[in-house]
Amino acid sequence: MTPILANLVWPALILTTRMLAVWPIAAGLLVELFFVRQATNLRGARCLTADITMNLASAALGIVLIPLSGIIWELLATFTIYPLLNVGSFNPVTWGATVLLAAGVNTVAEGWVLQRGFKQKLGRRGFWLLFAANLVSVSIAFISILLHPPKT
């Protein structure tokens, strides 16, 4: 689903479409390859396979879960934060939350792949390092929205 075809558009929906672009994907693969190499005992082809597999899983799940997390944010914020700040959906707080939620969704999906598919234990430190790696690719997608806003 593209934001142009949606009857309702919210930040997480726009961010999701940008996360499927070449630059965020390439950055995510490179940064996370370094993470997988440093934070696990995987090496060589198995390390590359883990990187690609976990990114495919997070992309597939993220198409649904990131917009869903954004809708949940919108429902909560509509009754709490938005009235206090006197703002609507497209505001700096929501964009920040959207970026963090997207990085979190990807981190959980990728961590699950590393644990279940490749028998790797992440631990708390590994989780936050993987979150930071995901934050890089999600931030690139967000910056692309700032530089080249979607046309309506």
If you average pLDDT over residues 5-21, what whole number do you get?
86
User: Does some domain include residue 139?
Assistant: yes
Closest CA to 135 of 20, 27, 14, 26: 27
Query: End-to-end CA distance of the chain, in Å?
Result: 14
Q: How far is residue 15's CA from residue 90's CA, in Å, rounded to a whole number?
A: 12
User: Does some domain include residue 3?
Assistant: no
pLDDT score recorded for residue 5: 52
User: Does some domain include residue 6?
Assistant: no
pTM attached to this predicted model: 0.91
- 90 φ, ψ (degrees, to nearest 5): -95, 85
**How many other C-beta atoms lie within 10 A of the C-beta of residue 74?**
19
pLDDT score recorded for residue 9: 85
* Residue ranges making up the domain that contains 25: 11-147
If you average pLDDT over residues 24-34, what whole number do you get?
94
Q: What is the pLDDT of residues 37-76, one digit of tens each?
A: 999 999 999 999 999 999 999 999 999 999 999 999 999 9
User: Does some domain include residue 76?
Assistant: yes
Tally of domains within the chain: 1
pLDDT score recorded for residue 1: 47
Residue 112 makes CB contacts below 8 A (sequence gap 6+) with: 57
Tell me the two tokens of residue 124: 């708390």
User: Does some domain include residue 2?
Assistant: no
DSSP 7: S
Which residue spans within the chain are E strands per DSSP?
none
Q: What is the pLDDT of residues 116-152, one digit of tens each?
A: 999 999 999 999 999 999 999 999 999 999 999 988 6
Cα dihedral 147→29→71→12 (10° resolution): 10
User: Does some domain include residue 63?
Assistant: yes
Where helices occur in 40-91 by DSSP H, the ranges are 44-79, 81-85
**How many other C-beta atoms lie within 10 A of the C-beta of residue 106?**
29
pLDDT score recorded for residue 6: 52
